[in-house]
Chain A
Amino acid sequence: MTGSRPHERDVDPVTGYETTGHDWNGIRELNTPFPRIVLWALALAFLYSVIAWILLPAWPIGRDFTRGLLGLDQGEMALAGYEKLEEARSDWMAAFADNPVADLAADPGLLARARPTAVRLFADNCAACHGTDGTGGPGFPNLTDRDWLWGGAPETIAETIRVGINSTDPDTRFAQMPAFGRDGMLSREDIVAVAKHVVALGHGQADPDSRGAAVFAENCVACHGEGGKGIPDNGAPTLISGHWIYGGDIQTVMTTLWNGRQGEMPTWQDRLSTAEINILALYVASLSENDGERDR
């Protein structure tokens, strides 16, 4: 595509190169020789590509492709990578899969090795609901206090993680707070009375002779225990600790009484290995260790 129309020699004073003679409304082009360095760069990039094509899977041939001299396969490489990492962990990870949780709790050296993994597993899997520091939030229990719905021993926690609560697992732990108001089990007046009583329980100021106390004794003690102290490991919380899952103000307690609650924790046994569940259980149990004696 050299200039097809005759033109005067037009030399650019800055570069000393001639122009091509093309002129597009004032735009001209220099007839600069093709820069050698571009050719060398292209040759180098092509050489890199050819080497890659020889070594790696690269070009399709019919229904197959060139395999490359290195014989690499993505799937195999990925699996080998996983296996190598697993092997690096195996000396201590295997112990968590093979031993009863209670025995593991007695091995501080092993626990220390698993600690970083435990922290990461908790943050990746549990923190979304229970909070990064395990203190929970509205609807999600605090794991750092001594109030346990289903027991705070490491093996019990492991079971809760495994099957979940009100989950889709056939062996799930199951607990339900009935909808006393919505389902007409208690009158509105009774609900107001018992709600006041429950709030007072949380503050340790309950009046045992009130109407609320009477309603409580008739309807609530079966799950929440005498005086709301709770019954270990049945899924219903204690009401006297001042720690609340859904909230201890009168409005929230009324809502709970009226609509009921059926909190859900998913089953983790399809997503986490036995070793990982055990590591988590021991970690979660340790979260409440600073909060006085563990409630077992």
Chain B
Amino acid sequence: MIRSLTIAERQTGLFIAIILSVIGLTMAAAARQGPMAVHGTMALILGLFLAIALAGALDKPSPRADREQNYYDEPTRFGIVMTLIWAVIAMGVGVWVAALLYWPEATPPWPATSFGRLRPFHTTGVIFGFGGNALIATSFHVLQRTSRARLADSVSPWVVLIGFNLFCVWAVTGYLMGSTQSKEYAEAEWYADLWLVVIWVVYFALYMRTLARRKEPHIYVANWYYLAFILVVAMLHIVNNLALPVSFAGTKSFTIWAGVQDAMVQWWYGHNAVAFFLTAGFLGMLYYFLPVRSGRPIWSYRLSIVSFWGIVFFYIWVGSHHLHYTALPYWVQTLGMTFSVMLLVPSWASAGNAIATLNGAWHKVRDDATLRFMFVAAVFYGLSTFEGSFLAIRPVNSLSHYTDWTVGHVHSGTLGWVAMIVFGAIYTLVPQLSGREDMAWPRAVEWHFWLAVAGTFIYVVAMWNAGITQGLMWRTYDANGALSYSFLQSVQAMAPYYLLRAIGGVLFLSGAILCALNTRATLKGVRFGVGTADRPLVSQPAE
């Protein structure tokens, strides 16, 4: 990666690495103990490692003069490798906690491995580590291709990727040490949150600067989705994480929000993390890789644009559906419910647009597991958005809320939609990055597809059954007006479903491991800038 940087860029990188070291040293020295000191030390080690590597390369040869004639794909490659590392680790932890639910006696006697600390490790690891790296890596690829322009500079992509991964590592190791803000999907403490803000601003600036260099007159719809992802996640992250640290030399902070306002802000954040992190960004991915892989034009240009604005407009209202039948005022719940129902229309329009795009390419869907990943992703996107709107209706929610149905719903979205489109994108991108026609082990892609589909199906069906069973057991009364079941009975009734869930998770994880190994084999001996047609439009101005 350093070889692709000019000497001046290496100097800039060295300067940033030294700043990172100083930040790390300051954190460690100020905190002295606890998670913040550990995290400061991590930053110090990372900063020193980067500084030494960059300083040692200052007298090495500069990159080839025609560097600017090519897209900058090394960051994408690094991001994909990180995506798969996080996938294996965080999905592995997911399988572990799923197994603990069936077999709680197996909890090791260390605080770090208790369910309460591993569970946010799993969610942060898959959402931010796996999903986030996949989004950043593919966004760099898509942005350059659809703009026909090289990334605006060569240092900030590395700042974004390395800084983002440092955030992820801080977050998950913090949970293992017991530090948490107790906000779902926003558990990382204040200094990690501040760090992410800096990284995110660099990401946004890089995206805008590259877009400004585009040689195409229009901004492709995928970029609209990626931009919405970057911009809205920044807004959500900042507002929900507003907090006062107990001390600037300590880990613990307290949110500035209180009571039901805190709950509302949290779920405004939480649901829009689903909307803009787990949906908008991945729709951007879908809108690029699906037409590329299928060789078909997007079925409807108008629908893609209207759906974008529909999704962006409706989603931001619906967070309150997480707080039905709570202290949140009824009117806020009604708004959340009705906007959730209206949201179904642009969601299904997007799924329909994706599936209709495959018209004329169904033979490819049949033969090509990579394209099948994308097709299944679009189908699960449609299914889980329908389910989401349905669950947001108050009376339905009174049955489903607090049950494993919610967990099933989330995983039909994350396994069926998010992970499938990521794998589809990876299997399209990795051969291209390696200058090859196909993955090193094409049959493993087929295996991965069926493992992923089977795992998702088993997981989701088990959790539907579990959730509906729980919901019904909690509300069944006998002829004498007495509750028919104790809570304990509803827990005992979950055992077979929890076992099935763990099995589904193992299948899905096996597929992800296969993907990681396949990618490793494919990326060996990678060469960049191989495609003669796959270049930015440098010399000639926009037509």
Give chain A's interface residues, CB within 8 Å of chain B: 1, 4-5, 12-15, 19-20, 22-35, 38, 41-42, 45-46, 48-49, 52-53, 56-60, 65-66, 68, 72-74, 78, 85-89, 92-93, 113-114, 116-117, 119-124, 127, 132
- Let me know if B299 and A15 touch, CB within 8 A: yes
Stretch at the interface among B171-179, B185-193, B438-446, B485-493: B485-493
Residues of B within 8 A of A92 (CB): 480
**Cβ contacts B343-384/A at 8 Å (1 or 0 each):** 011001100100000011000000000000000000000000
**B residues bordering A, Cβ < 8 Å?**
145-146, 148, 216-218, 220, 288, 291-292, 296-306, 310, 325, 329-331, 334-335, 337-339, 341-342, 344-345, 348-349, 352, 359-360, 477-478, 480-489, 534, 543
Residues in chain A near residue B291, CB distance under 8 A: 27-28
Closest 10 CB pairs of A and B: A88-B481, A123-B486, A14-B360, A49-B338, A29-B301, A89-B481, A32-B300, A57-B331, A28-B297, A117-B482
Partner of A57, one of B148, B297, B330, B486: B330
Complex Cα distance A145/B310, Å? 66
Question: In the assembled complex, how far is the CB of residue B536 from the closest CB belonging to chain A, in whole angstroms?
Answer: 10
Complex contact B359–A15 (CB within 8 A):
yes
Q: Among A32, A53, A117, which residue has its beta carbon within 8 angstroms of that of B299?
A: A32
A117 touches B483 (CB 8 A): yes
Known A-B contacts A58-B331, A72-B330, A116-B478; A25 and B487 likewise in contact (beta carbons under 8 Å): no
CA separation between A10 and B77, bound complex, in Å? 35
A20-B330 contact in complex given A46-B342, A74-B325, A89-B482, C-beta closer than 8 Å? no
23 A–B pairs (Cβ distance < 8 Å), ordered by A? A12-B360, A19-B297, A24-B145, A24-B146, A24-B148, A27-B288, A27-B292, A29-B298, A30-B298, A30-B301, A33-B302, A34-B302, A38-B349, A42-B310, A42-B342, A53-B338, A56-B330, A85-B481, A86-B481, A88-B480, A89-B481, A116-B480, A120-B483
Bound Cα distance A53, B342 (Å): 13
Q: How far is the CB of B395 from chain A (nearest CB, A)?
A: 12
How many Å lie between the Cα of A19 and that of B338 in the bound state? 36
Which B residues are in CB contact (< 8 Å) with A42? 310, 342, 345
Q: How far is the CB of A177 from chain B (nearest CB, A)?
A: 28
**Measured CA separation A92–B480 after assembly (Å):** 8
Q: Nearest Cβ in chain B — how far from A2, in angstroms?
A: 9
Nearest chain A CB to B543 CB, angstrom units? 6
Alpha-carbon separation in the docked complex, A88 to B335 (Å): 34
- A41 pairs with B488, CB closer than 8 A: no
Across the interface, name the chain A residue whose C-beta is closest to B301.
Answer: A29
Q: How far is the CB of A104 from chain B (nearest CB, A)?
A: 16
User: Which residues of B lie under 8 Å from residue A52 when comparing CB positions?
Assistant: 334, 337-338
Chain B residue at minimal CB-CB distance from A73: B330
**Known contacts A52-B337, A53-B334, A29 near B344 by CB under 8 Å:** no
Contact B481 A41 (CB under 8 A): no
Chain A residues within 8 Å of B359, by CB: 14-15
Bound Cα distance A12, B481 (Å) = 65
Q: When the two chains form their complex, are residues A116 and B482 in contact, meaning their CB atoms are under 8 A apart?
A: yes
Chain A residues with CB under 8 Å of B342's CB are 42, 45-46, 49
Q: How far is the CB of A292 from chain B (nearest CB, A)?
A: 28
**Out of A34, A122, A124, which one reaches B300, CB within 8 Å?**
A34
Q: Is the CB of A25 within 8 A of B148?
A: yes
Chain A residues near B341: list those with CB within 8 A. Answer: 45, 48-49
Q: How far is the CA of A12 from the CA of B294 in the complex (A)?
A: 14
Question: Which has the most chain A C-beta neighbours within 10 Å: B291, B345, B484, B543?
Answer: B345
| A165 shortest CB reach to chain B, Å | 23
Return the contact of B297 from the options A29, A73, A116 (Cβ within 8 A): A29
User: Which residues of chain A are within 8 angstroms of B534 by Cβ–Cβ distance?
Assistant: 25
Given contacts A22-B218, A73-B330, A120-B483, contact A12 B488 (CB under 8 A): no
Not counting A29-B304, A42-B310, A65-B331, a sample of 11 additional A-B residue pairs whose C-beta atoms are within 8 angstroms of each other reads A5-B543, A22-B218, A22-B220, A25-B146, A29-B301, A32-B299, A45-B342, A45-B344, A72-B330, A89-B482, A114-B482
Question: Which residues of the partner chain B approach A46 to less than 8 Å between Cβ atoms?
Answer: 342
Report yes or no: B338 in contact with A27, Cβ–Cβ below 8 A.
Answer: no
Q: A5, A45, A78: which contacts B217 (Cβ < 8 A)?
A: A5
